[in-house]
Amino acid sequence: METINLLIWSFDALLGLCLLWLAWRTLSAPDLYKAVVLFVAFGLLMTLAWVRLDAPDVALAEAAIGAGLTGALLLSALARLDPAVDDQSIVTQKDNRPKSESVQWAAFMSLILVAIGLGYSVLSLPLKFKGLSPEVTEQLVNSGVENPVTAVLLNFRGYDTLLEMAVLLIALLGVWSTGNKPKYDKPFSSPVLDFLSRLLTPILILVAAYLLWVGAHAPGGAFQAGSILGAVGVLLLLSGWRLQKDSSLLLIRLILLAGPFAFVAMAVITMMIEGQLLQYPPAHAGLLILVLETTATLSIGATLAALFLGGPPHLKNEESP
Amino acid sequence: MTITDYLSLTLMITGAIFFLAGTLGLLRFPDVYTRLHALTKADNLGLGLIITGLILQLESWTVAGKLILIWLLVLLAGGCVAHLIARGALQRNVRLWKR
Amino acid sequence: MQYFYIALALFLLLNLLAGMWRILRGPSVTDRMLAAQLFSTTSVAIILLLAQATGKQHLYDIALIFALLTAVTAIAFVQRAWPSREIKHDDH
Note whether residue A130 is domain-resident: no
Greatest CA separation for chain B:
54
Question: Cβ contacts of residue A148 below 8 Å, gap of 6+?
Answer: A133, A136, A137, A140
From the list C37, C60, C82, which residue is nearest B67 (CB)?
A: C60
From the list B9, B23, B94, which residue is nearest C4 (CB)?
A: B9
Give one DSSP letter per residue of C16-31, joined into a string: HHHHHHHHHH-SSHHH
pLDDT beyond 50 at B35: yes
Least confident window among A81-90, A155-164, B49-58, C77-86 = A81-90
The answer to whether A64 contacts chain C (CB < 8 Å) is yes
Give the span between the Cα atoms of A242 and A98, in whole angstroms.
47
Average pLDDT, chain C: 86
Q: Digits of tens for pLDDT over chain A (321 positions)?
A: 577 888 899 999 999 999 999 999 999 888 888 899 999 999 999 999 999 998 999 999 999 998 889 999 998 888 877 654 444 455 555 566 667 788 888 999 999 999 999 999 988 888 777 777 788 888 888 777 888 888 888 888 888 888 999 999 999 999 888 867 777 767 657 889 889 999 999 999 999 999 999 988 888 889 999 999 999 999 998 888 877 777 788 888 888 888 889 888 888 888 888 777 777 777 778 888 888 899 999 999 999 998 888 878 777 655 544
Residues A155 and A37 in one domain: no
Note whether residue B45 is domain-resident: yes
Give the span between the Cα atoms of B87 and B36, in whole angstroms.
12
Note whether residue B19 is domain-resident: yes
Work out how many domains chain A is built from and give that number: 2
- Contact check, Cβ <8 Å, C29/A56: no
The answer to whether A28 contacts chain C (CB < 8 Å) is no
Q: Which of residues 145-204 of A touch C (CB under 8 A)?
A: 185, 189, 193, 196-197, 200, 203-204
From the list A192, A199, A203, which residue is nearest B84 (CB)?
A: A192
Note whether residue A123 is domain-resident: no
Please report the number of interchain residue pairs, chain A to chain C, with beta-carbon separation below 8 angstroms. Answer: 174
Residues A246 and A317 in one domain: yes
Note whether residue B56 is domain-resident: yes
Note whether residue A138 is domain-resident: no
Residue A1 pLDDT: 57
The answer to whether C74 contacts chain B (CB < 8 Å) is yes
Q: Which residues of A touch B84 (CB under 8 A)?
A: 190, 192-193
**Structural domain boundaries, residue A72:** 1-84
ipTM metric? 0.90
Mutate to test the interface with A, among C17, C75, C85, C91 (most CBs of A within 10 A): C75
pLDDT beyond 50 at C88: no
Give the span between the Cα atoms of C17 and A63, in whole angstroms.
19
pLDDT beyond 60 at C59: yes
Note whether residue C29 is domain-resident: yes
Note whether residue B96 is domain-resident: no
**Identity of the amino acid at A271:** M
Least confident window among A142-156, A249-263, B15-29, B40-54 = A142-156
Note whether residue A159 is domain-resident: yes
- Contact check, Cβ <8 Å, B77/A203: no
From the list C16, C68, C73, which residue is nearest A72 (CB)?
A: C73
Measured from the Cβ of residue A85, the count of other Cβ atoms closer than 10 Å reads 17
Residues A151 and A32 in one domain: no
Residues A205 and A76 in one domain: no
Note whether residue B27 is domain-resident: yes
Q: Which residues of B touch C9 (CB under 8 A)?
A: none
- Which residues are paired to A31 by β-bridges? A93
Which DSSP state fits A89?
Answer: T
Residue of C nearest to B4 (CA): C1
Three-class DSSP category at A294: helix
Note whether residue B74 is domain-resident: yes
Residues A291 and A155 in one domain: yes
Residue A3 pLDDT: 79
Residue A93 pLDDT: 55
Note whether residue A118 is domain-resident: no
Domain termination residue (choose one: A84, A116, A134): A84
Residue of B nearest to A195 (CA): B80
From the list C9, C65, C80, which residue is nearest A60 (CB)?
A: C65
Average pLDDT, chain B: 89
Q: Which residues of B touch C41 (CB under 8 A)?
A: 39, 42-43, 46-47, 74, 78
Note whether residue B98 is domain-resident: no
- Contact check, Cβ <8 Å, B80/A203: no
Task: For residue A40, give the nearest of A26, A55, A28, A21 by alpha carbon.
Answer: A26
Chain C nearest-CA distance from B98, in A, is 17
Domain termination residue (choose one: A52, A84, A116): A84
Give the span between the Cα atoms of A44 and C39, in whole angstroms.
8
- Contact check, Cβ <8 Å, B73/A190: no
From the list C16, C23, C85, which residue is nearest A34 (CB)?
A: C23
The answer to whether A86 contacts chain C (CB < 8 Å) is yes
Note whether residue B99 is domain-resident: no
**A25 vs A20, A39, A41, A234, CA distance in Å?**
9, 9, 11, 28
**8 A C-beta contact, residue A1 and residue C3:** yes
Angle between helices C2-25 and B3-28 (to 10 degrees): 10
Work out how many domains chain C is built from and give that number: 1
Chain C nearest-CA distance from A176, in A, is 20
Work out how many domains chain B is built from and give that number: 1
- Which residues are paired to C28 by β-bridges? none
Q: Which residues of A touch B76 (CB under 8 A)?
A: 196, 199
- Contact check, Cβ <8 Å, A192/B80: yes
Residues A175 and A285 in one domain: yes
Note whether residue A209 is domain-resident: yes
**Structural domain boundaries, residue B45:** 3-91
Residue A249 pLDDT: 83
Domain termination residue (choose one: A84, A102, A119): A84
